[in-house]
Amino acid sequence: MQDLSTIGMEKGLLYETIITTKNSEEIPNAAPIGVTCKNKSEIVLYLFEGTHTLQNIKSNGHFIVNILKDPMVFVESTLGDLSSDYFESYKNDFYIKNTDAFFSAIVTNTKEVERNDKIGKSNMIVITAALNEIIIKNEGLEPLNRAIFAIIESLVYLSRINIVDDKTADKYLEHIKEMSRLVNRVGGKEHKKAMDKILEQLN
């Protein structure tokens, strides 16, 4: 039986995805959303009030999670609405045509929480959803987790920190610390272990 591990999603990790929904007029919408893998059959989303994605999910009770790496889809769906050319219909939903895989999810719980971070206080809606069906279009797919990119970025800074002036080295150190915070927030055990090794090297 297929579960989220089938597409490389691990419990506790946050993945960068494109979520597709539709409104009451059957018009599709796409938005980059971080999805946390709660277990092999459930995911969690944190959504801001007032977004089309949240509105559509509340109305429909289901949505599609697209696993892909196309940078233009992420950019275009962040800056505005994707054109209809990007979408393909599937049963009662829409997915992104060139996605590596997608899965349908059914909402099982919603709750409102107050989030307090460096941006300030904000109200968010926590959506818990159950896996319904997985469609794999390209084998060898890998869901995007920002931790691996943060580690690579840190290694670039680490490799240069001893050959630059002190002011630049301090900037590199701050970047690495920021990357470390990101890894601790979205990464898994192996990501954190790798980041710890980088920090040990700095010390």
Overall average pLDDT of the 113-136 stretch = 86
End-to-end CA distance of the chain: 47
Please state whether beta strands 14-22 and 62-67 pair in parallel, antiparallel, or not at all (unpaired).
Answer: antiparallel
Whole-structure pTM value: 0.88
DSSP letters for 93-141:
EEEETT-SEEEEEEEEEEEEEEEEETTEEEEEEEEEEEEEEEEE-STT-
| Cα gap 137→97, rounded to integer Å | 10
Q: Please give the pLDDT value at position 116.
A: 72
DSSP letters for 33-56:
EEEEEEETTEEEEEEETT-HHHHH
Among candidate residues 189, 201, 190, the one with its CA nearest the CA of residue 157: 201
Tokens of 162: 């001893």
| Cα gap 76→142, rounded to integer Å | 21
64 CB-near residues (< 8 Å, 6+ apart): 19, 20, 21, 90, 93, 94, 95, 102, 103, 104, 105
Ordered domains of the chain (ranges, CATH)? 4-136 (2.30.110.10), 146-202 (1.20.58.290)
| Cα gap 176→178, rounded to integer Å | 5
* pLDDT (tens digit per residue) in 26-83: 999 999 999 999 999 999 999 988 899 999 999 999 999 999 999 999 999 999 899 9
| Cα gap 203→195, rounded to integer Å | 13
Q: Is the pLDDT of residue 119 over 70?
A: no
